[in-house]
Amino acid sequence: MTEKVASYRWRDLSVVARVGNLPLLAFGLTPLIGHWMGGGLWYWLTPFLFFIVIPIIDLMVGEDRINAPVEAEPELENKIIYRVMCWLFLPLQYFTMFYLYGVLTQSDLAFYELVGLTLSMVLGVGMGASVSHELGHRPALIDRLISIFMMAPFNMTDFYIYHNFGHHKTVATPEDHAAARYGQTLWQFVFRSIYNKSRSAWHIEAVRLQRHGLPALHWRNQMIWLASLPLILLITLTALYGWVVVPLFIGQCFIGRMILAIADYLEHYGLARRKLPSGEYEPVRTDHSWDDAYLVSSLMFCQIDRHSDHHANEGRPYQILRVIEGAPRLPFGYMVMIFVAMIPPLWRKMMHPIVDAYYDTGKVLPHGLPADLPARFAETAVYRGQVEPASG
């Protein structure tokens, strides 16, 4: 018997479901385009787009709140074209990196060209993090391997371990190093988060090996192999282009990790799960992540801004992630909120009334230190070091 294929109209799908990763692939090409256009100010094409043009367009275009028809989801989920478009970012990413490292180290560039081209390359390569995140959740081995290799250029191969086996289990709790407390500024959060996420990846692997009766320093420790990939990449680049690539690579790693840490800050700020009398936390719900549906941000981040659905239904691929009515909502898209978060007074003025209003619904508990919260939330706050389970 032939399986019936669901019928749906093109306009029944979100724009991301219609075009997949093509816009992100186009953005990944912009550092090369800037060089091939002759350099000079063209080397600033990628940062100009990322920091100015794209956020403005995101504000002007607004939201795309379309969810695919439920009956169409199985067909969309199984279309390999969505995965292929993700795979294509890997050769683009590595070609861009190796080609432009050659330009940066072997060309006589003016200082403004050097800075512009470096920023362009790092941003173009760094956006692979959102593609890697998507592939890292897929069950097929090829997807997970491509995901890991995409993270090597910014020394984030540990992401596969701490994100899938740490963050998704501890999300919206004080034990989650990717969840920011209420009142914690981005700059207080980012650097500690980057360090602790890597540390937790090693711990997760050590615990896994311990269950099998093996020591942490064992060849089956995945973190040893994962940590070797960025080192091999750096050695290769150094052999090709000299020691000058070392500071470039360090800067590339720093900016790539920063982009992901800022996204973490946006996605779970101030939201906590209740701790049950058993000592366990309640199951993850759509209330425990900040949702968003701004179109251009969705295109730039593989629709991961539909974050409430992503955490409540971890295995859902990006093309069928849903906008969740009633979930906590960011006021603007990621491409705007990234820069709002960088200015703590602006963040507090814009976000705290929204966070407080969501606390008042009773759907979540405040994640923060009692001293940082409005007085009416202090008694129910969930925070690191809390002994008694939160009631509610």
pLDDT for the residue numbered 216: 87
Alpha carbon of 156 to those of 47, 149, 241, 254: distances in Å?
22, 9, 22, 10
Alpha carbon of 51 to those of 55, 336, 350: distances in Å?
7, 9, 20
Q: Is the pLDDT of residue 367 over 50?
A: yes
Question: What pTM was computed for the model?
Answer: 0.91
> Which of the four pLDDT bands, split at 50, 70 and 90, describes residue 302?
very high
pLDDT for the residue numbered 92: 97
CA angle, 75 then 294 then 176, to 5°: 85
CA angle, 272 then 317 then 313, to 5°: 35
Q: Which stretch of DSSP H or E encloses residue 365? A: strand 365-366
> Which of the four pLDDT bands, split at 50, 70 and 90, describes residue 337?
very high
Classify residue 202 as left (phi > 0), alpha (psi -120 to 50) or beta: alpha
pLDDT in tens, 185-235: 999 999 999 999 999 999 999 999 999 999 988 888 999 999 999 999 999
Backbone phi, then psi, for 269, in 5-degree steps? -55, 120
Q: Which of 2-16, 110-124, 165-179, 245-259 has the lowest average pLDDT?
A: 2-16
Token pair, residue 97, equals 């990196």
d(CA 299, CA 352): 27
The dihedral over CA atoms of 109, 128, 340, 314, expressed in degrees to the nearest 10, equals: -170
Residue range 312-335: mean pLDDT, rounded: 94
d(CA 167, CA 257): 16
pLDDT in tens, 76-92: 999 999 999 999 999 99
What is the DSSP track for 230-278? HHHHHHHHHHHH-TTHHHHHHHHHHHHHHHHHHHHHHHHTTEEPPBPTT
**Which three-class secondary structure state does DSSP give residue 352?**
helix
d(CA 287, CA 366): 12
Structural domain spans, the chain: 10-380
Q: Is the pLDDT of residue 139 over 50?
A: yes
